[in-house]
Amino acid sequence: MSLLVPLFLLVFGFILLTKGADYFIDNAAILAEEKGIPPHVVGVTIVAFGTSLPELLVSIISSLQGYNDLALGNIVGSNISNIGLVLGTSCFIFFYLLNTEIKPEEDANSDSYVMLFAVILLYYFSRDKIISDSEGIVFFSLYVIYMYWLYIRSVNSDTDPVEQDNVSYAFLIGGLVALLIGAQITVDSAVEIATYFGISEVVIGLSILAIGTSLPELAGTVSAAKKGHKEIAVGNIIGSNIANIFMVMGILAIIRPIDVDEMILTTTMPLLMLITVATFGMIRVPMNRLSGLIFFSFFALFLYQLAL
């Protein structure tokens, strides 16, 4: 069977994912800013949720079709890509294009504790090589509690509403539909390519799907970085990684318990913990090109592991 058709569909699926996320994020962010929600909260909620939709949709579709390895690999690999590739790129944009450093605010420091806790809990739940439905309920419940905490913070903030262009609800809903269709096409074509080359589902999930579904985070973060919105750029990564574990993993485990592949448990998940701990430390000091180089180094190590 020719690879041209699945390759074309894979690219087309990614385009739908990224463009759908763009339209959804843009209009959701405008809606939030009109209500006077702080920029960082916008980043870790509206923008992060929007950019996590591809991971959610791709993972749910993968799980329902019996590709659990694909779903878990997508989430773990995406979180590594979000930090190594996306946050690393933001550091370089701020340093070389804007001639400044990223100086995370106190809100980012607070949310980094939640991100670190999510990764530690994921590893703890994965030690028996299965994430059960009860553990999925714990994940999702923690996400609801986190959202409530953010709501309390936004209510108590002194951010004033910002005049914005009117929200396009047509593009808001259309973006979500494009995400759903793109997710289905992406999963089907990626599995077909994996089957053709005899590559395991877990490797495809960790590489092609993980990096592909991180493209919305990359696009949203780069756009925010170019405009100098460091709160949204950093908040997007933190919020997305939290959502991927608490929300996406929680929903997946509730739908169907997730088997944890030995490769993910012994190789990829320890790397996710290491890069998260490094981010937890670096987010407390101004991040510059050295920070970007460190993040990219972790991403290069991730790709090297997959190539072994």
What percent of the chain has a predicted confidence (pLDDT) above 90?
A: 23
For 260, other C-beta atoms within 10 Å of its C-beta total 22
Q: Pick the closest to residue 140 from 49, 246, 45, 239 (CA basis).
A: 246
The Cα 41–Cα 154 span in angstroms is 7
- The CA-atom distances, in angstroms, between 135 and each of 79, 114, 234 are 19, 17, 28
Q: What is the CATH number of the domain that holds 292?
A: 1.20.1420.30
Query: What domain range is 120 assigned to?
Result: 4-157+167-307
Name the residue type at position 19: K
How confident is the model at residue 138, as a pLDDT? 97
Domain count, the chain: 1
Token pair 């990829």 is at which residue? 268
- Average pLDDT for residues 120-132, to the nearest whole number? 94
Q: What is the DSSP string of 152-212?
A: HHHHT--PPP---PPP-HHHHHHHHHHHHHHHHHHHHHHHHHHHHHT--HHHHIIIIIHHH
The Cα 155–Cα 149 span in angstroms is 10
pLDDT classification of 116: cutoffs 50, 70, 90: very high
Q: Which of 29-43, 68-82, 171-185, 287-301 has the lowest mean pLDDT?
A: 29-43
Whether residue 265 is contained in a domain is answered as yes
Whether residue 162 is contained in a domain is answered as no
Contact 201, 69 (CB under 8 A): yes
Q: Which of 33-47, 106-120, 192-206, 253-267 has the lowest mean pLDDT?
A: 33-47
Burial, 148: exposed, middle or buried (Cβ in 10 Å; 0-12, 13-18, 19+)?
exposed
Whether residue 95 is contained in a domain is answered as yes
Tokens standing for residue 73: 């690999």
pTM of the model: 0.80
Whether residue 187 is contained in a domain is answered as yes
